[in-house]
């Protein structure tokens, strides 16, 4: 690892999923030099797992749909703590971005009149989710990669970023190493855009894959001086696979329920009528997840600890056309034909609503020259994310962050660099490789189990306090890790950085969860079962003197267009929007 490469770009993008690619496209089309770094094969970025669709209030099927209704659905189902400015920007701009990416080759399903088809998704008043079967994320990713290739955007998807380069609260690049040969690289830039995803891999049962969503972008941001917002808000998707054990938690898309899938307990009861009689399976993700969790906890589950999701009442041709990936997924892993038999599902850690605190308009962080977009950024979703909004988010805010980075780069008086900062970041890679005594994998498993048991679908004060104590022990052990890089294998080094990122992300999540003394959306506590008006705030976490500190801020007012709408907090632990003039 003695050879050190260096390079310069006007804008450096960290992350080669949908948000990163859309940001890079914006930079390149603006005429500036851009480079994209990723640590996973660009064609297999996490965006590819977003199956069900992308939201845009086009009104192609339900003509009464509008950006205002999309705003209401998003704000209400975020339980009133999502940033209204974020939401307004996304819902207004999503239609143009959806049409754009379809023109670039996403190939969404079309109606006979040539307009985009739209399906129901949970908690949407109207059909507004555009889709490509049940592989919408992959189709969007392919379209963005095709556009990036046409523009000649350089993408290096073999780089693990270890540190952002920051001096006097100004970001001027990042340090990384090649995951194949370990070569260090100094990536200098006028501005940097973080698009690194979330942190749900730190739960034992999750919908992420190995080496992704360990909170590495959150860790980079914290070390650089950024704040995190809403870290207690982690979405547990209602339907993850139960078997086989090695892939437990793998996502079963909401599109199954959107196309008529029914949830049943072991008694054959369609139990959602007890939890949301009106919307049933198309209720909010937090409510369906809690319903599934409750049925399982109270013993009305299968022998494998799941509930049934049944789509077998639809004909096979329909299933093969609308849900081809899910059909093949169960056939491959369980030899189960879902057109004949129901699936077994259970909640799975799926999405980080919290993330780096950014400005709604340009997605700038509190560090100059640093921007963030996609799942790594917080503020949009509040306490619960609507299905289909994440793909809208990566396009709208990926573009905005890219354009903001362009404007910042153009207005920079001169390129900043600091040899001392660079040397310190390079040396930290050498320091982490010093021979230690603690194996990484057992610590990863301990952390995942700890988060699942103590900070899962339902939490309480004692479990959270116990988890914080345990996390600190794991943190201390992580100072001395066994890292073997013989024979050119740098997986141990990657795992070491992932572990450190996971620990700090877990600590931030636990701290925020402990401080929010109520149940709201995805954050459910046994000891505080109702929404509390005094908790109508956002919790903010920062790293100061190597310790996390927490504060809170008041939520923002809704736009003037909604001043005559009354939003009502009800004691039944739900937030409803009634259009009361």
Q: 3-class DSSP state for residue 9?
A: strand
d(CA 306, CA 216): 31
Phi then psi for residue 481, to 5 deg, are: -115, 145
pLDDT for res 563: 66
pTM of the prediction? Answer: 0.94
pLDDT for res 505: 98
Q: How many helices (H) and strands (E) does the chain have?
A: 14, 22
d(CA 248, CA 257): 19
d(CA 216, CA 233): 18
Residue in the structure block whose two tokens are 């049409």:
99
Evaluate whether 116 touches 58 at the Cβ level (below 8 Å). Answer: yes
Q: Which residues of 420-437 are buried (b: 16+ CB within 10 A; e: fewer)?
A: ebbeebbeebeebbeebe
pLDDT < 50: residue spans in the chain: 568-581
Evaluate whether 291 touches 272 at the Cβ level (below 8 Å). Answer: yes
pLDDT for res 564: 65
pLDDT for res 197: 98
pLDDT for res 572: 32
Q: Which residues of 167-180 are buried (b: 16+ CB within 10 A; e: fewer)?
A: eeeebbbbbbbbbe
Short-list 183, 144, 153, CA closest to 43: 144
The DSSP element (H or E) to which 177 belongs, if any, is strand 170-178
pLDDT for res 568: 37
pLDDT for res 570: 37
d(CA 219, CA 217): 5
Q: 3-class DSSP state for residue 15?
A: coil
pLDDT for res 485: 85
Phi then psi for residue 568, to 5 deg, are: -115, 125
Catalytic residue positions, numbered = 237, 257
For the segment 6-58, what is each residue's pLDDT rounded down to a tens digit?
A: 999 999 999 999 999 999 999 999 999 999 999 999 999 999 999 899 999 99
């Amino acid at each position: 690892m003695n050879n050190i490469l260096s390079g310069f770009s006007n804008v450096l993008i960290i992350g080669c999923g949908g948000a990163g690619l859309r940001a890079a496209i914006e930079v390149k089309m603006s005429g500036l030099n851009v480079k994209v770094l990723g640590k996973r094969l660009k064609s297999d970025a996490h965006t590819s797992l977003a199956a069900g669709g992308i939201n845009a209030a086009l009104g192609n099927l339900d003509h009464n749909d509008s950006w205002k209704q999309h705003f209401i659905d998003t704000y209400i189902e975020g339980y009133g703590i999502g940033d209204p400015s974020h939401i307004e920007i996304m819902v207004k701009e999503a239609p143009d971005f959806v049409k754009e990416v379809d023109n670039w080759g996403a190939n969404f399903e079309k109606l006979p009149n040539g307009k985009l088809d739209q399906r129901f998704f949970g908690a949407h008043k109207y059909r507004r989710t555009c889709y490509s079967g049940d592989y919408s994320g992959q189709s969007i990713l392919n379209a963005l990669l095709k556009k990036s290739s046409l523009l000649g955007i350089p993408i290096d998807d073999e780089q693990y970023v270890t540190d952002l380069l920051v001096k006097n609260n100004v970001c001027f690049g990042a340090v990384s190493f090649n995951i194949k040969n370990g070569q260090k690289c100094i990536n200098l830039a006028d501005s940097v855009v973080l698009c690194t995803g979330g942190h749900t891999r730190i739960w034992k049962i999750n919908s992420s894959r190995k080496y992704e969503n360990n909170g590495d972008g959150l860790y980079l941001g914290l070390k650089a001086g950024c704040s995190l917002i809403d870290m207690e808000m982690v979405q547990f998707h209602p339907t993850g696979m139960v078997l086989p054990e090695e892939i437990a938690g793998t996502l079963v898309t909401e599109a199954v329920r959107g196309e008529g899938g029914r949830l049943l307990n072991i008694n054959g009861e369609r139990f959602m009528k007890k939890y949301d009689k009106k919307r049933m399976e198309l209720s909010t993700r937090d409510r369906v997840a809690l319903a599934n969790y409750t049925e399982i906890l109270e013993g009305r589950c299968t022998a494998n600890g799941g509930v049934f999701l049944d789509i077998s009442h639809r004909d096979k041709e329909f299933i093969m056309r609308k849900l081809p990936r899910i059909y093949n997924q169960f056939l491959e892993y369980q030899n189960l034909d879902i057109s004949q038999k129901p699936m077994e599902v259970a909640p799975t850690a799926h999405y980080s609503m919290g993330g780096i605190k950014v400005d709604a308009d340009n997605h700038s962080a509190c560090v100059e020259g640093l921007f963030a977009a996609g799942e790594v950024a917080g503020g949009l979703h509040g306490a619960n994310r609507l299905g289909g909004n994440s793909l809208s988010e990566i396009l709208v805010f990926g573009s905005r962050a890219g354009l903001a980075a362009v404007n910042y780069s153009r207005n920079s008086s001169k390129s900043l660099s600091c040899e001392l900062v660079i040397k310190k970041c390079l040396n930290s890679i050498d320091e982490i490789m010093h021979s230690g005594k603690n194996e990484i994998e057992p610590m990863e498993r301990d952390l995942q189990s700890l988060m699942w048991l103590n900070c899962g679908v339902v939490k309480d004060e004692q479990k959270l306090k116990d988890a914080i104590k345990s996390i600190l022990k794991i943190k201390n052990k992580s100072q001395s890790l066994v890292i073997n890089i013989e024979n050119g294998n740098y997986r141990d080094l990657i795992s070491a950085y992932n572990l450190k990122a996971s620990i700090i992300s877990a600590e931030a999540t636990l701290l925020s969860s402990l401080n929010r003394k109520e149940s709201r959306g995805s954050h459910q506590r046994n000891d505080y079962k109702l929404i509390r008006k005094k908790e109508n705030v956002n919790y903010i976490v920062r790293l100061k003197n190597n310790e996390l500190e927490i504060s809170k801020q008041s939520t923002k007012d809704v736009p003037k267009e909604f001043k005559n709408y009354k939003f009502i907090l009800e004691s039944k632990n739900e937030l409803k929007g009634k259009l009361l003039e």
